[in-house]
Amino acid sequence: MSNIFVKNYVSSLDVVETQKAIKFIKNNFEISLAKNLGLSRVSAPLFVEPETGLNDNLSGKEKAVSFNLINNKKLEIVQSLAKWKRYALKKYSLSGLYTDMNAIRPNEVTDNLHSLYVDQWDWEKVIKAEERNFDFLKSVVEKIYASFLETYNLVCKEYGFKNELPKEVYFIGAEELLKKYPNMTSKERENAICKERKAVFLMNIGNKLSNGLIHDDRAADYDDWALNGDLLLYYPLLDMAFEISSMGIRVNKESLMSQLTEKDELFKLDMPYHQSILKDELPLTIGGGIGQSRLCMYMLNKAHIGEVQSSFWNKEDIEEFKKHNIILL
């Protein structure tokens, strides 16, 4: 996506008011999410050992930021905590947890929605084998959306915004979406369905569709591609689909083997994390990430993620956005 400049844009809140509003949003959303999903807060690592297999390689194309210790031991900055959380649930004997995840993604192409710095709530919850199904996934998505609406309504009341989102999420699979809009790209399909339905959970991301392509790339070793999805909202200011969460029921040993085979990554089976799944040493879980800056950007009706987070932007972008009344932190 290239930079979008909103005509006649004026931020509803100045920089200082925005900072106060960010804290208001984060505090209220954390409380609601923990209550609705039954989660306890834990601390999380900023870096992990790459040989453990705990780091999330996302789509497999992103390169993790790494550094060496004095003894040449290599560590990687986490890209997400999708795998670490399963270990943490077992280690702490918890039924559900959430944490603050901070990551650096140096290969990200920055624009209105994407930054080199990623901040999100990572959450994970233990489930039973019989809960590895669509109905259970749907129930959790609805609880997360309820927390979003609860917080958004508070923000609207506090700052005079208007919530025009529906009360319920619309669920659709990637293959069904392809059939609905067969002549569009995957991103164009997301934009079209979000404009129509406003709040959408797009499911089954990772497997090849009937056109021989995948809707979007997904790592093979955390989400079960048959039981995952993205929570998307329509964002009128930018006239586009706006992803606030990616989540799913995590792989068991059967789906792990199948998906690693599909992506030709069976070499990962030697890693401790993958061995733990094959040996049934880790709990079955559902989990995901919810973008903190994304959430704040949406609720505060900002035109650029740089209005709610301090990251790196090149000088040309800073000057160009400034001409359009968009002040990047």
As annotated, the active-site residues are 56, 105, 120, 230, 243, 246
Identify the CA nearest to 80 among candidates 107, 115, 120: 120
Q: What residues have CB less than 8 Å from 300, skipping those under 6 apart?
A: 12, 13, 18, 21, 22, 25, 155, 159, 161, 307, 308
Interatomic CA distance for residues 172 and 193, integer angstroms: 9
Rg (CA), the chain: 20
Query: Can you give the length of the chain in residues?
Result: 329
Other beta carbons within 10 Å of 21:
19
CA 19 to chain centre: 22
The order of strands in the sheet holding 240-250 is 40-41, 96-104, 117-126, 285-291, 240-250, 223-235, 199-203, 170-173
Which residues are registered as beta bridge partners of 68?
A: 74
